[in-house]
Structures are given as structure tokens and as C-alpha cells.
Amino acid sequence: MAGNYKVAVVGATGAVGQEILKVLEERKFPVDELRVLASARSEGRKIKFQDQELTVRAAKPEAFKGVEIAFFAGGAISKELVPEAVKRGAVAIDNSSVFRLEPEVPLVVPEVNPDDVANHKGIIANPNCSTIILVVPLKPLHDVARIKRVIVSTYQAVSGAGRDAIEELLQQTKQVLAGEEVEPRVFPYQIAFNLIPHIDTFWDNGYSREEMKLLLESRKILHDPEIKISATTVRVPVIRSHSESVNIETEKKLTPDEARQILSRAPGVIVQDDPKNLQYPMPLLASHCDEVFVGRIREDYTHERALNFWIVADQLRKGAATNAVQIAEILVQRGLV
């Protein structure tokens, strides 16, 4: 990657922001100057990046002067500040849901639709974490056999709801084991030793916003408005890495062996599928990795052209930070910034 770039990370003190900084460093992204931005209450904090100690600045419009690439870690602040960053000449890679379904804004997963990056008009949206994890293995199967319908149930780690959610799970676990009373703050119910079939707000159709994201975002990323996706999203008492149980119906029949071969050649996918030897994806093993792990690939014996499989990926990395940095790498490699 030629040249070095002035880069800003907004939300640098949060879980996703911290992961973006880590991924930028690990992947040796060509940074000339890095600005770490956050809310006013974090101003003045110190953050280490490479061999530097950086001071957190308040995320204000003037902080983007001269910035070429701005990563937004997510949250309501994107609505106000992304246009301000673009106005000052930056390309914004946004992890919030604000711009994802805007027709003019590319919604990009580099293993799936990298060419869409070229269509940006200053903003590129990072998809929802559960969507990214789903479409990476769907794309190569869709290219070969055309997927008509997907039924997916997600098992989403608490870190998807931020640092406070991690602390809540850890604290509640201690409280339950000590026989103490639990008072939920981040989640509507106790999450320790429990599952909550509720992520984000509910729509009038009975689905949650998180479930509808899986449908609407996947259609945009895969460039297929016909694909049918029915989702159930569940919060589970796991700290890191989301899991998804997936059933696909295809136009052309795929055997489990064919699916394994296709997925084993797919970018960003690791097939871990040897149930006889208890080899299958798990959050514990996928954490801190950038790939989507796929296993439990088997024929759906209730349908002649359907498969079941199980996928796991680190939603803070591939589901957020790594995907955003990969988008920036495409911008740099193709001279689009």
C-alpha cells in the first residue's frame, strides 16, 4: 500500500474503537497521523498505538480537518458527524446503522462485494455484525447454486452490546454464584445463565430490528432483492463471538461435500467440520480471529435442495473492526481516497 494517510477513529475508547486501533496496528495500515476521538467525557485520556501515546480529543466537526479516512465505531453520533467528516474531505467508514440502507451508500463486505467500494460518495457503511458473519459463507454458495431462502437463528455474544454489557455479564455471574440478587441494567432481563430472544427494538411485524437487518442488509450486499431470509436473534451469556445456525434452500442441489469444497476455497472462511472427532466452530476458538468458521454441514432431510450448517465469528473483529479496515485497504489499493 503506497503512501501514508491521516486517519481518525471516532469512538476510540469503546469496544469496537479499541478493536479498530488493534487491527490497524496488526495489519500495518499506512497511517501517517492518527487522531483518536471520543465523547467529551473521554477527552484527555491516553491511548497507545504502535510506539506512540495518543491523547483522546472530543469528536467535533473541526477534528476532521485534513483527515483522509475516518472510522466511526458506531452509535448515534454518526448521523451528526459522518457528514461533517465528509464535508472536510474524509472518506467515512461507518459502523452504525444510520446509512446502511441508503441507496447511494455502499454497504460492503470485502469478501462479498468489494467492487461496491468504488461507488462511494464519501460514505461507506459497515454492515451489522450478524449480517457480515452470515453473508461471507452465503456468497460462494449463492454463486454456485443460487440461494432462494435462508432461515437463521443467531446466538449473539454480550460484547455486541458494548463494554457495559460485558461487565454486566461478569458481575451477574458472580452475583448468581454467590446467591445475591441481580439487577439488570444493560439488558431487560438477567443475562447470566439465561438467553434473551430480543436484540434491538421490535417492529410491528413481530420481528426485531436486528432480525430485519439480516434480511435487508443481506439483500443489498448480495445484490439479490429476491432472496428470502427469516431470522431469530438471541442474546447469549458468551463474552465474545457470535454463532449462527443456518438453513439454506438452493435452486441447484448441493451435497454437503460440494458445499465443503466450495467453502474451503472461499476467502475469509475456514471449514471446521469433523463431528466424529468433535471438530466444529465454537466462540471460544473463533475469538480474536478474522475468519468465519463453518461446520456441522449436513443435508436437510426434510427438503431435497437444502443444507444446514453452523457458523461462528468474532463479531468485534470480522463483524466490525476488521471488516472496516479491509474496506479502507481497498480504498487505498484502488486509489479511491
CATH number at residue 30: 3.40.50.720
Spatial contact of 156 and 208, defined as CB atoms under 8 Å apart: no
Candidates 120, 129, 223, 303; catalytic one: 129
Same domain, 58 and 135: no
Question: Do 143 and 56 reside in the same domain of the chain?
Answer: no
Instruction: Please state the domain count of the chain.
Output: 2
- Report the CATH number that the domain containing residue 281 is assigned in CATH: 3.30.360.10
300 and 324 belong to one structural domain: no
314-327 residue pLDDT tens: 999 999 999 999 99
pTM: 0.95
> Is residue 188 located within the same domain as residue 245?
yes
Look at residue 1 in the predicted model and tell me its pLDDT. Answer: 43
198 and 305 share a domain? yes
Structural domain containing residue 256:
131-315
Residues 53 and 155 in one domain: no
Same domain, yes or no: 151 and 208: yes
242 assigned to active site: yes
Catalytic residue, from 142, 198, 242, 303: name it.
242
* Residues 192 and 284 both lie in one domain: yes
Q: Are 292 and 137 in contact (CB under 8 A)?
A: yes
Residue 34 and residue 76 share a domain:
yes
292-299 and 269-271 as β-strands: parallel, antiparallel, unpaired? parallel
- The one-digit pLDDT tens for each residue of the chain (337 residues) are 456 999 999 999 988 999 999 999 999 999 999 999 998 889 999 999 988 999 999 999 999 999 999 999 988 899 999 999 999 999 999 999 999 999 999 999 999 999 999 999 999 999 999 999 999 999 999 999 999 999 999 999 999 998 899 999 999 999 999 999 999 999 999 999 999 999 999 999 999 999 999 999 999 999 999 999 999 999 999 999 999 999 999 999 999 999 999 999 999 999 999 999 999 999 999 999 999 999 999 999 999 999 999 999 999 999 999 999 999 999 999 999 8
Contacts of 202 (CB under 8 A, 6+ apart): 208, 209
Statement to judge: residues 102 and 47 lie in one domain: yes
Whether residues 50 and 25 fall in one domain: yes
Is 118 in the same domain as 259? Answer: no
The sign one gets for the Cα dihedral 22, 320, 29, 105 is: negative
142 noted as active-site residue:
no
